Structure 1
Amino acid sequence: MTSETVLSDSARAGGAGQAGQPAAASRPATPFRNLEHYIALPRLGTLALCADGTRLVTAVSTLNRKGTEYTTALWELDPAGRNPARRITRSAKGEAGAAFLRSGDLLLTSARPDPDNGGDGEDEPVAALWKIPAAGGEGRVVLSRPGGVTAVQAAREADTVVVTAPVLAGSADEADDAARRKARKERKVAAILHSGYPVRFWDQDLGPSQKRYFVLEPAGFGEAAADAAGADEAAPAGPGLPGTTDAEPPLALRNLTADAGPALLETKSALSPDGTTLLTGFRKPLARGDFRSVLAAVDTATGSRRILLDSEDAEYQPGPVSPDGSTAVVVRELISGPDRIPDVTLGLVSLADGAYTPLAAGWGRWPSPAGWLPDGSAVVVTAAEDGRSPVFLVEAATGAVRRVTNDDAAYTDVVVSPDGRYAYALRSSYLFPPEPVRIDLGTGRTLPLPSPVARPEPGGRLEEVEAAAEDGTRVRAWLALPEGASAERPAPLLLWVHGGPLGSWNAWSWRWCPWVLAARGYAVQLPDPALSTGYGKEFVRRGWGKWGQEPYTDLMAVTDEAVKRPDIDASRTAAMGGSFGGYMANWIAGHTDRFRAIVPHASLWALDQFGPTTDVSTYWEKEMTAEMAEANSPHRHVEQIRTPMLDIHGDKDSRVPVGAGLRLWYELLSRSCLPAGEQGRTVHRFLYFPDENHWILTPQHARVWYSVVENFLARHVLDQETELPAELGL
């Protein structure tokens, strides 16, 4: 069965008639028909709200003149929705990490040259910490260090600032760290000596730098705090952050986590409103290279650390701290096993004694906390639900859950106004990329804010498809249809499988944008099979440890339903996917020849090879037994592959190392039903990116990716030829 998706009035309007949002009658032609236009679309991300709620800042990434990277600038939005957006930073290096001080001054990070140092830049400039006065004027560097600054947090009700920055593991202090970095750079040493695990993570090599948290304060104040910490009386809370006058004292960093080692890898943190406590996940080493994340509370005055939550069967990450500073929301994830899903729930933890209380334990969604109401009565969260990601309110006292937004959209980067009446967020769906909105937390009504980025016309329509799986479970999908698709002009179908596998097609994706292929005439189906989030725990449990079973049969069921439509051409279909979606593409190839072409990207192939070589093998070992991995491994079915395949992989991929792509390529040529012919030529193709990772991040390579995919699909699905990018040299 099918049903057309209808957005709420506010979502459908999308700010029509306001700045940056053209009315329907004047909408331009879709940019998705031209890859150059698509790649050049500006991209909105992140929100920061000042303490009194009068200033809201977002970041906009735009393509540089060479078309080789995106540069981010900060823009100010009007929280009331009356005035147009205003750009507040501009540089070739870009800016990020916006955080408001209590005074209204704006902190940010940027690698732009410091004008107070004559504008001289380093050979490889790193991000420094800058400040823009609340009253306006030029920004100034408040702190620069050779290792750079990666993030900044500012307390809402105090002058405490916590900086995240990398430190070489053996450094005694900041001066020592600078000397070690200089020596490595001058001697061109890139080697890393490891004594623990992991050694890589997603798209980065780990070490020799490690993540640390620092307090920003006037130079010399840290020694006074350390002396006070050893005295009977409490340590001082810290002075106000200096202004922007030439007479301000120099600032320095005081290391709060000097002894952390690798424990802060991929952990989150939350600063209390009064600035006295920093909550952070903290990795506890276990046997055989494994670890789990416990919850630690760090005193920002003394650096002393207490473990609040530590469970053998779960990991913890902090959410926001309550307005009165007594309680924090935490995210608890059950440690998975072959027969146990990694269930994600919320809880409340007392900062005084670590007492833990489950919050909305029976909800069945996997929520992400965003902030508290000012009176501490409820927590604002987002969670995947039925192909959307709405905003919810969870009552702190009872755990009762109320859905706030009711449109067909996903909300991210949610911040709460100081009066608790509104929340501000970025909203997207598969009809439009992220755009800023104001949410009335009482009524759920959304007001699109004047945006620095215009909403692009998708060039088609979005509907939903539902099917019954083999066991009767409802399986649903989004379906992006090209303009003109009808019974008279049925469109070829592309099945796109999401990654994760714990995820959902519920929000706009720049990397997997269906409208690029819809503009070429394809209908793109985005299904949520077993293992997808937003449908309850049992839906995840159906596919746990059985990747080649229910997830596969769910995909076939919803595809069967889609091709029944008169506006879909059932004789011209293809399948694609990345990461776990790439795994499913490989599995599909070995189990059916119903598709004319299959495209796996960053795909898992031989699971016995993937397990020991992925970046976090300890997690994989807990997820599947060797027998389960063998039963679900696509490589065992290579002899049944009769479909042309486009294998895509990046050499810098640590999650699915490139060996998987190389082995898939060799075995396609040597063992599939479509072997290489004369002179090694084959209908299969291998698109290899030597300097990309699990994702294709650079704009020039994204253009190549889409172009090659379009060429491969056109050849095998449409029996047509398209031009390949000249830069490939073919």
Structure 2
Amino acid sequence: MTFDDMMKMRRLGDIDVSPDGRWVLFSATDVDLAKNTRTPHLWLVPTAGGKSRALMEWMAGENGGRFSSDGKEILFESGREGGEQIWLASFDTATGTMGEAHRLTHLSTETDGAIWSPDGGQILFTSAVYPDCNDDGCNKARDEERAESKVKARIFTHLLYRHWDVFTGDKRSHLFLVDADGGTPRDLNAGDEHDVPTFSLGGPTGYAFSPDGREIAYEEKKVDDPALSTNSDIFTLRLDDANAKPVKISTSLGGDFTPRYSPDGKYIAWRSQRRAGYESDRFRLVLYDRATKQLKDMLPGFDRWVDEFVWAPDSQRIYFAAGDAGEEPVYMVKLPGAAMQLTTNGAFGDLHVTADGKALIASRMEVTTPAEVVRIARDRPDAAYSAMGHDAVIGLNRDGPLPLYHSAVDAVTHLNDALLAQLDMPKMESFWFPSIDRVKVQGFLIKPPGFDAAKKYPVKFLIHGGPQGAWGDEWSYRWNAELFAASGYVVVMINPRGSTGYGQTFVDGVNGDWGGKPYIDLMRGLDYAELHSSFIDKSHECALGASYGGYMADWILGHTHRFKCIVTHDGMFNTESAYGTTDELWFNEWEFKGTPWTNRALYRRWSPMLAETNFRTPTLVVHSQLDYRLDVSEGYQLFDTLQRMKVPSKMLYFPDEGHWILKPQNSELWYRTVNDWVDQWTKVQ
């Protein structure tokens, strides 16, 4: 596989299923490398499988397709006439054809995340507005005034003045309700100076309608110190009472996310964290009884993160996805709490249940295959529940793994089959090894195409970010393990302490110990791979990492000379300065157990900067101007230090990217620069 091959691949976006279960509506993004663009379009395919076809191909693109409750209309969002707006079109459920689209909204502040009300009469969406503005005219005038002003200075009076890759400014995300027949949208959070819903980098929406359409539930981080707190809560709001006030129904001190009503309206489920200030606490599935106002942990013994979930039509089952040992299977829990695993192999997401409850529609990807739409047959596994016992509550911890009920998984789309058939992408191999404290750690290895066991190959040693993340059987466009292997390398990846998918104790193992046990896990994992893979040339290895992986690459730079080169992308070099320049202060305060002035010893203990006298390894530094999670100054400090110490080094700087490299041509430069650097120092001449 080449970079050009990867750019030709069509990228699956979000999914929706028609109410009659006949059709899957999805978005797919096309990349034009020459034009430096990524454009999503709406596609349609029969649920049973068949030929996918584009419903429209507007130059501006379109996404967020959603069927109305009767399946006779589709809403979507597009910037066809300037600025993202909601559009509607009729849909023929028999033929799968869409009528002429018409624009519904005309907001200067644009729209996002639109969903239908249960009766199809209204649409709920978000828009970023000035909280003190009462109408769109006010928002428009304020924006125009700022755009025309010659003064671009800003005054800050609170923390979180910048977040991820933008300065937050005075606008806040609010929920709006608009009639499907048109009219002026109603701001449901008028005057609220907090974002509704909570900031997210993607995934399920943070709001939902009740089945009768009279109420919504949503997540909001209604705190005075958003840079210090992770405590988002779930609120409900009556829509049939103009004077109704939001009601907080969650009680956790941590984050609460993605509320979803049961189809019968009796419950609201959501994902909940218990510990305040810890963004990587276990995501539990909790159930709120609307009548009794009681909360219940649905899976108290399930020691994995519930990443997303969906109700079954009978309100007696919830399907959910959770990471486990490099995979992201689908599970099912039956009220009151018996659970089982339904799938293996690959990473599943964007779950939908057909109206008859007989199948799930989801996305699925593997390390060798980009995401595709699949159909998961439920096949009535009730007999398996009977064997478990009605009240069984089994979790992936001391109780052992959940029982596995194999469900058939069939491909619905084939977006990239023709291209993938031409490529040689070796399978990823898993291995386990013992590490410090008698803990077993998992690693993965990918051999190069055309592998010859009699030869020796250089190594690209990839280190994941987070630190609460994980390598696994997943496709990536930003750090594609198959593409790294394609140029004649063995790729080795380890999931050290802090990684997800191995239980919360394993996740917590990185807290306050950034360069300790996780570093040992990584080094022992590479030792194990070298010992058990005679084809590895351990004298020609390069370590590469981003985010926490970039931190670890910086740590490796000062603590071992085993590598021929290092690539560090958006890493933390100086723990103390990183505290003062990051956006989400709660992260640093949790991971380093306080502030630099309350726990300076721990910050300095794990600061890569303080080992600078040991720097010897040729290092490529990559950093971006719009990265507000780990400020570009971290990259500058490292590069300046390397240059002054005469260590062979190079810096790749992106003025127009954030924590991730997203623009196609920037991605091309990134891969070329990174691979050229590794080749320069590890390829045997």
Q: Which amino acid aligns with 1:421?
A: K
* Structure 1 equivalent of residue 505 of structure 2: 538
- Counterparts in 2 of 1:570 and 1:70: CA distance versus 1, 3 Å: same
Q: 1:606 to 1:278 in 2, by over 3 A?
A: same
Within a 5 Å distance, the mapping from 1:1-12 to structure 2 comes to: none
**1:712 — aligned with what?**
677
Residue 694 (str. 1) matches residue 659 (str. 2): yes
Select the residue among 72, 75, 88 that pairs with 1:107: 75
Q: Is the 8 A contact 1:467 1:474 kept in 2?
A: yes
Partner Cα separation in structure 1 for residue 676 and residue 611 of structure 2: 26
Mapped pair 1:514 → 2:481: yes
**Are 1:551 and 2:518 an aligned pair?**
yes
Please state how far the C-alpha of 1:197 moved relative to its aligned partner.
Answer: 2.6
Deviation string for 1:219-248 (max 9, x for gaps)?
xxxxxxxxxxxxxxxxxxxxxx33xxxxxx
Matched, 1:591 2:559: yes
Cα shift at 1:156:
3.9
**Please, which of 217, 231, 256 is the counterpart of residue 316 of structure 1?**
256
Q: Hey, what does 1:653 align to over in structure 2?
A: 627
**Of 450, 455, 468, which residue of structure 2 is paired with 1:489?**
455
Q: CA 1:302 to 1:183, structure 2 compared with 1: closer, same or farther past 3 Å?
A: farther
- Are positions 1:71 and 2:9 aligned together? no
> In the alignment, is residue 285 of structure 1 matched against residue 223 of structure 2?
yes
In structure 1, the residue corresponding to 2:438 is in which secondary structure?
Answer: coil
Partner of 1:636: 610
- Show CA shifts across 1:449-475 (max 9, x none): 133333623532321122111222111
Q: Equivalents in 2 of 1:460, 1:174: separation in Å?
A: 54
Counterparts of residues 377-456 of structure 1 (less than 5 Å): 377-397=316-336, 399-406=337-344, 408-442=345-379, 443-454=406-417, 456=420
Q: Distance in 1 between matches of 2:88 and 2:120?
A: 17
Q: Of the candidates 93, 107, 114, which is equivalent to residue 152 of structure 1? A: 114
**1:620–1:472 CA distance, 2 compared to 1 (3 A):** same
Pick from 411, 429, 450 the counterpart of residue 463 of structure 1: 429
Q: How does 1:199-210 map to 2 (within 5 A)?
A: 199-210=161-172
Return the match for 1:306 from 234, 240, 246: 246
Once the two structures are superposed, residues 209-268 of structure 1 have per-residue CA deviations (whole angstroms, 9 ceiling, x without a partner) of: 210101112xxxxxxxxxxxxxxxxxxxxxxx33xxxxxxx4220111112212424162
Q: Which residue of 2 aligns with 1:117?
A: none
Q: CA RMSD in A?
A: 2.0
Distance 1:462 1:312 in 2: 39
Q: Residue by residue, what CA displacement relative to the aligned partner does 1:128-161 show, whole Å, maximum 9, x if unpaired?
A: 1111211322211111211111220113455331
User: Deviations 1:287-338 (Å, cap 9, x if unpaired)?
Assistant: 6963421211122333633333354632211332100122111111123569
More off after superposition, 695-704 vs 538-547 = 538-547
Contact 2:108 2:136 in 1 (8 A): no
Relative to structure 1, the CA distance from residue 618 to residue 536 in structure 2 (aligned partners, 3 Å threshold; closer, same or farther) is closer
Q: Secondary structure at the match of 1:436?
A: strand
Instruction: From the superposition, tell whether residues 100 and 190 of structure 1 become closer, same or farther in structure 2 (CA, over 3 Å).
Output: farther
- Structure 2: how far apart are the matches of 1:710 and 1:172? 53
2:227–2:585 Cα contact (<8 Å) kept: no
Amino acid at match of 2:265: G
Structure 2 counterpart of 1:308, one-letter code? K
Residues 160, 215 of structure 1: 8 Å contact kept: yes
**How far apart in 1 are the matches of 2:633 and 2:452?**
43
Question: Residue 496 and residue 321 in structure 1: after superposition, are their counterparts in 2 closer, same or farther (change >3 A)?
Answer: same
TM-score normalised by structure 1 residue count:
0.83
8 A Cα contact 1:103 1:134, kept in partner: no
Counterpart of 1:472?
438
Kept in 2, the 8 Å contact 1:317–1:331? The answer is yes
Partner Cα separation in structure 2 for residue 560 and residue 529 of structure 1: 14
Q: Which of 505, 524, 528 is the equivalent residue of 1:561?
A: 528
The Cα of 1:185 is off from its aligned counterpart by 3.0
Query: Which of 15, 31, 46 is the matching residue for 2:14?
Result: 46
Secondary structure class of the residue paired with 1:563: helix
Give the CA deviation at 1:541. Answer: 2.6
Q: Aligned to 1:320, what secondary structure does the other structure show?
A: strand
Match of 1:70, SS state, is: strand
Aligned-partner Cα distance in 1 for 2:250–2:449: 54
- Residue 503 of structure 1: aligned partner: 469
Distance between the aligned counterparts of 2:113 and 2:48, measured in 1?
A: 28
Distance 1:257 1:87 in 2: 36
Answer with 284-293 or 631-640: which moved more: 284-293
8 Å contact from structure 1 (residues 652, 694) kept in 2: yes
CA displacement at 1:208 relative to structure 2: 2.6
Match of 1:276 in 2: 214
Of residues 287-296 and 328-337 in structure 1, the stretch that sits farther from structure 2 once superposed is: 287-296
2: CA distance, partners of 1:427 / 1:367: 17
Matches within 5 A, 1:658-697: 658-670=632-644, 675-676=645-646, 683-697=648-662
- Report the alpha carbon displacement of residue 415 of structure 1 after superposing the two structures with TM: 0.9
- Specify the code of the residue in structure 2 equivalent to 1:272: S
Aligned to 1:211, what secondary structure does the other structure show?
strand
Cα deviation per residue 1:493-551 (whole Å; 9 max; x = unaligned)? 11111111111113211100012221100111222111111111221232222111111
Deviation at 1:718, TM superposition (A): 0.8
- The 3-state SS of whatever aligns with 1:482 is coil
Aligned partner letter, 1:350 = D
Corresponding residue number in structure 1 for 2:199 = 266
Aligned mates of 1:190, 1:58 — CA distance in 2: 40
Q: Aligned residue pairs: how many?
A: 634
Q: Which amino acid in structure 2 is aligned with residue 202 of structure 1?
A: W
SS at match of 2:509: helix
Q: CA deviation at 1:176?
A: 1.5
Aligned pair in 2 of structure 1 residues 65, 286: CA closer, same or farther (>3 Å)? closer
Name which structure has the greater RCO, CA cutoff 8 Å, separation 6+. 1
Contact 2:306–2:322 under 8 Å retained in 1: yes
1:77/1:450 contact within 8 Å kept:
yes
* 1:479/1:274 CA distance change after superposition, 3 Å: farther
- Give the conservation status (yes or no) of the 8 Å contact 2:353–2:360: yes
CA distance in structure 2 between the partners assigned to 1:202 and 1:706 by the alignment: 23
Q: Distance in 2 between matches of 1:191 and 1:39?
A: 39
Secondary structure of the equivalent of 1:213? strand
Please give the alpha-carbon distance, in whole angstroms, between the structure 1 residues aligned to 2:457 and 2:361: 38
CA distance in 2: counterparts of 1:289 and 1:463, whole angstroms: 40
Partners of 2:587 and 2:250 in 1: CA distance? 18
- For residues 546 and 189 of structure 1, the distance between their equivalents in structure 2, rounded to whole angstroms, comes to 45
- Residue type matched to 2:669 in 1? V
Deviation at 1:198, TM superposition (A): 1.0
Q: Is the 8 A contact 1:308 1:351 kept in 2?
A: no
State the alpha-carbon separation in 1 of the partners of residues 269 and 186 from structure 2: 27
Paired residue secondary structure (1:134): strand
Give ranges in structure 1 of 5+ residues lacking alignment.
1-31, 114-124, 218-240, 243-249, 677-681, 721-730
Name the CA distance, whole Å, in 2 between partners of 1:173 and 1:661: 43
Distance verdict in 2 for CA 1:336–1:543, change over 3 Å: farther
1:252: which partner in 2?
184
Deviation at 1:276, TM superposition (A): 2.2
Q: Which moved more, 1:692-701 or 1:208-217?
A: 208-217
